[in-house]
Protein backbone atom coordinates (compact mmCIF):
# COMPACT_ATOMS: atom_id res chain seq x y z
CA UNK A 1 0.00 0.00 0.00
CA UNK A 2 2.74 2.51 0.86
CA UNK A 3 4.51 1.69 -2.41
CA UNK A 4 1.78 3.63 -4.20
CA UNK A 5 2.71 6.93 -2.55
CA UNK A 6 4.88 9.17 -4.75
CA UNK A 7 8.53 9.53 -3.86
CA UNK A 8 9.58 13.02 -2.79
CA UNK A 9 13.14 14.29 -2.68
CA UNK A 10 14.20 15.87 0.55
CA UNK A 11 17.78 16.43 -0.56
CA UNK A 12 17.64 19.65 -2.58
CA UNK A 13 20.51 20.75 -4.75
CA UNK A 14 21.00 24.07 -6.55
CA UNK A 15 19.06 23.01 -9.68
CA UNK A 16 16.15 21.54 -7.70
CA UNK A 17 15.65 24.85 -5.92
CA UNK A 18 13.94 26.35 -8.96
CA UNK A 19 11.98 23.19 -9.78
CA UNK A 20 10.59 22.90 -6.26
CA UNK A 21 9.94 26.61 -5.62
CA UNK A 22 6.24 26.53 -6.34
CA UNK A 23 5.60 23.34 -4.36
CA UNK A 24 7.46 24.72 -1.35
CA UNK A 25 5.97 28.19 -1.53
CA UNK A 26 2.34 27.23 -2.08
CA UNK A 27 2.38 23.84 -0.37
CA UNK A 28 1.11 20.50 -1.59
CA UNK A 29 -2.49 21.56 -2.15
CA UNK A 30 -1.97 21.96 -5.88
CA UNK A 31 -4.48 24.79 -5.94
CA UNK A 32 -1.91 27.14 -7.44
CA UNK A 33 -0.46 24.78 -10.01
CA UNK A 34 -0.55 25.83 -13.68
CA UNK A 35 -3.90 25.23 -15.30
CA UNK A 36 -2.61 23.30 -18.31
CA UNK A 37 0.50 23.13 -20.44
CA UNK A 38 0.62 25.02 -23.70
CA UNK A 39 3.02 25.05 -26.66
CA UNK A 40 3.06 27.82 -29.26
CA UNK A 41 4.77 27.34 -32.62
CA UNK A 42 5.42 29.75 -35.47
CA UNK A 43 4.31 28.00 -38.67
CA UNK A 44 5.04 30.82 -41.10
CA UNK A 45 1.68 32.33 -42.02
CA UNK A 46 0.12 31.42 -38.67
CA UNK A 47 0.86 30.38 -35.12
CA UNK A 48 -0.20 27.02 -33.73
CA UNK A 49 -1.20 26.95 -30.08
CA UNK A 50 -1.50 23.45 -28.56
CA UNK A 51 -2.97 22.91 -25.09
CA UNK A 52 -2.88 19.65 -23.16
CA UNK A 53 -6.39 19.03 -21.86
CA UNK A 54 -6.56 15.26 -21.25
CA UNK A 55 -9.77 13.90 -19.82
CA UNK A 56 -11.90 16.82 -20.96
CA UNK A 57 -14.77 16.55 -23.39
CA UNK A 58 -15.06 19.07 -26.19
CA UNK A 59 -18.22 20.41 -24.51
CA UNK A 60 -16.22 21.20 -21.34
CA UNK A 61 -13.88 23.61 -23.17
CA UNK A 62 -14.74 27.26 -23.81
CA UNK A 63 -12.83 29.75 -25.97
CA UNK A 64 -13.54 33.46 -25.52
CA UNK A 65 -12.04 36.34 -27.47
CA UNK A 66 -12.47 39.88 -26.18
CA UNK A 67 -10.40 43.04 -26.58
CA UNK A 68 -7.42 41.18 -28.07
CA UNK A 69 -7.32 38.59 -25.27
CA UNK A 70 -7.99 34.90 -25.99
CA UNK A 71 -9.14 32.98 -22.92
CA UNK A 72 -9.19 29.20 -22.90
CA UNK A 73 -11.22 27.70 -20.06
CA UNK A 74 -12.00 24.08 -19.28
CA UNK A 75 -14.22 22.83 -16.50
CA UNK A 76 -14.04 19.38 -14.97
CA UNK A 77 -16.71 18.48 -12.47
CA UNK A 78 -16.70 15.63 -9.98
CA UNK A 79 -19.22 12.94 -10.85
CA UNK A 80 -21.67 11.49 -8.33
CA UNK A 81 -19.75 8.20 -8.43
CA UNK A 82 -16.53 9.99 -7.40
CA UNK A 83 -18.32 11.73 -4.52
CA UNK A 84 -19.73 8.44 -3.22
CA UNK A 85 -16.26 6.86 -3.12
CA UNK A 86 -14.50 9.90 -1.66
CA UNK A 87 -13.71 8.28 1.71
CA UNK A 88 -11.96 5.29 0.12
CA UNK A 89 -9.06 7.14 -1.54
CA UNK A 90 -5.52 6.71 -0.23
CA UNK A 91 -4.21 9.63 -2.31
CA UNK A 92 -6.08 11.82 -4.73
CA UNK A 93 -4.19 13.90 -7.32
CA UNK A 94 -6.80 14.49 -10.02
CA UNK A 95 -8.16 18.00 -9.83
CA UNK A 96 -11.71 19.22 -10.33
CA UNK A 97 -12.79 22.75 -11.07
CA UNK A 98 -12.23 25.38 -13.71
CA UNK A 99 -8.85 25.76 -15.38
CA UNK A 100 -8.12 28.77 -17.57
CA UNK A 101 -5.36 30.67 -19.31
CA UNK A 102 -5.38 33.90 -21.26
CA UNK A 103 -3.22 34.93 -24.20
CA UNK A 104 -2.62 38.29 -25.87
CA UNK A 105 -3.50 37.87 -29.55
CA UNK A 106 -2.29 41.25 -30.77
CA UNK A 107 -1.11 40.87 -34.36
CA UNK A 108 -3.51 37.99 -35.04
CA UNK A 109 -6.33 38.00 -37.61
CA UNK A 110 -9.07 37.28 -35.06
CA UNK A 111 -11.68 36.41 -37.70
CA UNK A 112 -9.52 33.55 -39.01
CA UNK A 113 -8.86 31.68 -35.74
CA UNK A 114 -9.84 28.00 -35.92
CA UNK A 115 -9.83 25.31 -33.22
CA UNK A 116 -9.86 21.51 -33.13
CA UNK A 117 -9.81 19.08 -30.20
CA UNK A 118 -8.50 15.55 -30.60
CA UNK A 119 -6.90 13.02 -28.22
CA UNK A 120 -6.71 15.47 -25.31
CA UNK A 121 -4.97 18.19 -27.34
CA UNK A 122 -6.70 21.46 -28.20
CA UNK A 123 -5.10 22.97 -31.30
CA UNK A 124 -5.76 26.54 -32.36
CA UNK A 125 -4.54 28.05 -35.62
CA UNK A 126 -3.93 31.75 -35.21
CA UNK A 127 -3.34 33.42 -38.58
CA UNK A 128 -0.99 36.37 -38.49
CA UNK A 129 -2.55 39.69 -39.36
CA UNK A 130 -1.38 41.02 -42.68
CA UNK A 131 0.39 44.35 -42.32
CA UNK A 132 -1.55 47.22 -43.79
CA UNK A 133 0.51 48.68 -46.60
CA UNK A 134 -0.38 52.28 -47.28
CA UNK A 135 -1.38 52.97 -50.86
CA UNK A 136 0.86 55.19 -52.91
CA UNK A 137 -1.07 58.07 -54.41
CA UNK A 138 -0.09 60.50 -57.08
CA UNK A 139 -1.05 64.06 -56.42
CA UNK A 140 -2.03 66.16 -59.38
CA UNK A 141 -0.49 69.60 -59.74
CA UNK A 142 -2.94 72.43 -60.48
Q: What is the pTM of this model?
A: 0.62
Q: Residue 61 falls within a domain, yes or no?
A: yes
CATH number for position 108: 2.60.40.790
Closest residue by Cα to residue 53 from 43, 62, 61, 45 = 61
State the pLDDT at residue 10.
53
**Residue 100: which domain range?**
35-127
Low-confidence ranges of the chain (pLDDT < 70): 1-34, 78-87, 92-95
Closest residue by Cα to residue 50 from 38, 36, 35 = 38
Q: Residue 12 falls within a domain, yes or no?
A: no
State the pLDDT at residue 141.
92
Q: Residue 28 falls within a domain, yes or no?
A: no
Q: Residue 96 falls within a domain, yes or no?
A: yes
Q: What is the pLDDT of residues 13-46, one digit of tens each?
A: 555 555 555 455 544 444 444 578 999 999 999 9
Dihedral, CA of residue 66, residue 70, residue 71 and residue 72, to nearest 10: 140
Amino acid sequence: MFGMLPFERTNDNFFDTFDNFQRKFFGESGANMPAFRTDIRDAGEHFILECELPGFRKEDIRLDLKDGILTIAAQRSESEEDKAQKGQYIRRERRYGTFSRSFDVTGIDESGITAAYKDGILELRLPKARPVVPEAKRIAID
